[in-house]
A and B are shown apart, each in its own frame.
Chain A
Amino acid sequence: DSGVTQTPKHLITATGQRVTLRCSPRSGDLSVYWYQQSLDQGLQFLIQYYNGEERAKGNILERFSAQQFPDLHSELNLSSLELGDSALYFCASSEGGGPQETQYFGPGTRLLVL
């Protein structure tokens, strides 16, 4: 158990809908990262937040957004969902904002868009 929690574990929804994935980092960690693992692609970096501020942005679609709250939990919002958004979404956390730090991954949220 990495100490990173993600809810829900599974989510089934329809195209066009909007969902929110939640992540709580390890106690004391200030950075949160979001990743997407889809069937046809490897693990893709989406976005990083450090202490409430966006730190780095990867291959995140405009339909997706994220934020990190004062208690350091983070939410990833996915809107206008398409079939291709079906994937495993991981959150990871690290102690600080430094890019060379060890990241600890949560168990993931499996999203299925029908």
Chain B
Amino acid sequence: ILNVEQSPQSLHVQEGDSTNFTCSFPSSNFYALHWYRWETAKSPEALFVMTLNGDEKKKGRISATLNTKEGYSYLYIKGSQPEDSATYLCAFQPGNQFYFGTGTSLTVIP
């Protein structure tokens, strides 16, 4: 069983603050790293699929970086808004399998 860890487990920030969280995964057999945004009572929504060491991806105020050699990815949110409140989930993919972290729960306080 592969270990995918996300930290912190939960986070409360004020509206307008920037924040970041981490996904750690095994540094061997890397194929892809997926980030999802999961709002309560909804289904996971894909944010990024990251495949190359040094990858940086951006969607609006959200961006992500990838370091496959040391086995981590960072997700950044700039100027957090209440609508950013959700659980952010990463999934490590060594080939055709998917191993999910337990997510970081973000609450943005207005």
Is A105 touching B102 in the complex (CB atoms < 8 A)? no
Chain B contact residues, majority secondary structure: loop
**Contact of B43 with A2 in the complex, beta carbons under 8 Å:** yes
Given contacts A2-B43, A106-B43, A107-B43, contact A55 B96 (CB under 8 A): yes
Residue of B nearest to A50 (CB): B96
Complex interface residues of chain B between 24 and 63 (CB less than 8 A to chain A)? 31-32, 34, 42-46, 49, 51
- Tally of A interface residues using CB under 8 Å: 22
Say yes or no for B71: interface residue by CB 8 A criterion.
no
Across the interface, do A48 and B96 meet the contact criterion of CB distance under 8 Å? yes
CB pair A56–B96 under 8 Å, yes or no, is: yes
Return chain B residues, CB-CB under 8 Å to A107.
42-43
CA distance A43 to B100 in the complex (A): 6
Number of A-B contacts (CB under 8 A): 51
Q: Is A51 close to B, CB under 8 A? A: no
A58 touches B98 (CB 8 A): yes
Chain A residue at smallest Cβ distance from B98:
A45
Question: How far, in angstroms, from A101 to B96 measured CA to CA in the complex?
Answer: 11
- Cβ proximity bits B95-106 to A, threshold 8 Å, 1 near / 0 not: 111111111000
With both chains docked as a complex, state the minimum distance between the C-beta of B36 and any C-beta of chain A, in angstroms.
8
With A43-B89, A99-B32, A100-B93 as contacts: A105 and B100 at CB distance below 8 Å: no
